[in-house]
Structure 1
Amino acid sequence: MLKRFKQYFQKITTNHDQHRKKVLTIDDHLVEVENTRYFLSQALITDVPEMLAIERAVYAGQTPWDQNAFKTELRRQSGRFYIVMRHEDQLVGFCGCAFDDRRRDAHITNIAVHPDSQNRGLGRFMMQTMIDRAKRLRYQTVTLEVRYSNVTAQQLYRDIGFEKTGIKKRYYFGDHEDAIDMTYRISENGD
């Protein structure tokens, strides 16, 4: 009986792992966002310098995440999904997400679009990409933190369907700005 249970458990675990791996890959690399074609791919270690350059452009010369933080995330074997978008071979945006099977939550860890490419639907596209992955994995929520002062991002997230669920006081390193917790509830959005 124990042997049969072990075989059954191994089979469902293997099936789950295969499904998860398939969901957290990109099949269609050429995407169109607001009538412009982009190349979408999973982030690689070699993308980190360009990701840091985007952070510097977005955050007034600062990099909320350093090179080691990005590399650590990209080296993880499971549970992380980072995407980059390129236009004419230039990195224009990236988004990272931590997928937690136990909590059934996909947590957006980082998202940035180069200022020259903002207001073109890229942030919304990348957020929707992560939400779609969470739906395919039958997760319950997608969560994130956003700076209290970043009202533009907050509005985008509300437009997508996120709602404010809390505040983390003095959350951000350096300036100690508060963060607003936001949650997208998959089951409540009819999905």
Structure 2
Amino acid sequence: MLRKFKEYFQKMTTGGNQRRQRVLAIQNHIVKVGEVNYYVSRALITDVPEMLAIERAVYAGQTPWDENAFKTELRRQSGRFYIVMRHEDRLVAFCGCVFDDRRQDAHITNIAVHPDVQGQGLGHFMMQVMMKRARKLHYQTVTLEVRYSNTIAQQLYRDLGFEKTGIKKRYYFGDHEDAIDMTYRIPVATDD
């Protein structure tokens, strides 16, 4: 146990932390998903009102995360990586992830795509961004929870290689719907 702690401490105080910062950096850029160009950037505090609007559109007027939850996550930065996607200056999708060096796990905390553009590959694109970064950090897993009723999202995750690993009863605040735990086991990397 002490050996693992020493390895972790050394990784965090030397080049490991700098490497992690490089992997979790993102340059604002344009990507083509399908036939449409989207502007991808790191999420900022100023994006929170639009992120909440997407949640309301996706969850029938509800916001599973409130303004303070988003702001707290975006302020933390260390180990947090949130991206947004815009089309014609309108925020249409976002995804957040916590990168945990200790557990060697990237946990998807939140992902939402506005109903107007669902089914066009944005969720798939954002998940691949997070999975690629976890792979570059030599993590073992990417994990998430998904609503039991959200079969479309479950299919997306299965298509990406996730497997059901458990159920959290009455997990979601408000309606107390069950959550399905899903895990993607990252193949051992041979190079960066």
> Is TM (by shorter chain) over 0.5?
yes
Q: Deviations over 1:125-144 (max 9, x none)?
A: 00000000000000000000
The residue aligned with 1:5 is none
Structure-2 change in CA distance of 1:10 and 1:33 (3 Å): same
Q: Deviations over 1:56-106 (max 9, x none)?
A: 000000000000000000000301000000000000000000000000000
The residue aligned with 1:80 is 80
The residue aligned with 1:33 is 33
Q: Deviations over 1:97-126 (max 9, x none)?
A: 000000000000000000001111000000
The residue aligned with 1:160 is 160
SS in 1 for 2:116: helix
What TM-score do you get using the length of structure 2 for normalisation?
0.91
Question: Please, which runs of 5 or more residues in structure 1 have no aligned partner?
Answer: 1-8
User: Does the 8 Å contact 2:138/2:189 carry over to 1?
Assistant: no
The residue aligned with 1:136 is 136
Shift of 1:50: 0.1
Structure-2 change in CA distance of 1:115 and 1:37 (3 Å): same
Query: How many residue pairs are counted as aligned between the two chains?
Result: 184
2: CA distance, partners of 1:111 / 1:36: 20
1: CA distance, partners of 2:27 / 2:65: 28
The residue aligned with 2:173 is 173
2: CA distance, partners of 1:123 / 1:93: 8
Structure-2 change in CA distance of 1:115 and 1:182 (3 Å): same
Q: Deviations over 1:137-177 (max 9, x none)?
A: 00000000000000000000000100000000000000100
* Identity percentage of aligned residues: 78
SS in 1 for 2:64: coil
User: Does the 8 Å contact 2:138/2:188 carry over to 1?
Assistant: no
Shift of 1:189: 9.8
1: CA distance, partners of 2:116 / 2:100: 33
2: CA distance, partners of 1:142 / 1:65: 21
* Stretches of 4+ aligned residues off by more than 6 angstroms: 9-12, 188-191
Compare 39-48 and 12-21 and name the one that shifted more.
12-21
Shift of 1:30: 1.0
Shift of 1:35: 1.9
SS in 2 for 1:112: strand
SS in 1 for 2:14: helix
Within a 5 Å distance, the mapping from 1:17-166 to structure 2 comes to: 17-27=17-27, 29-166=29-166
Structure-2 change in CA distance of 1:188 and 1:166 (3 Å): farther
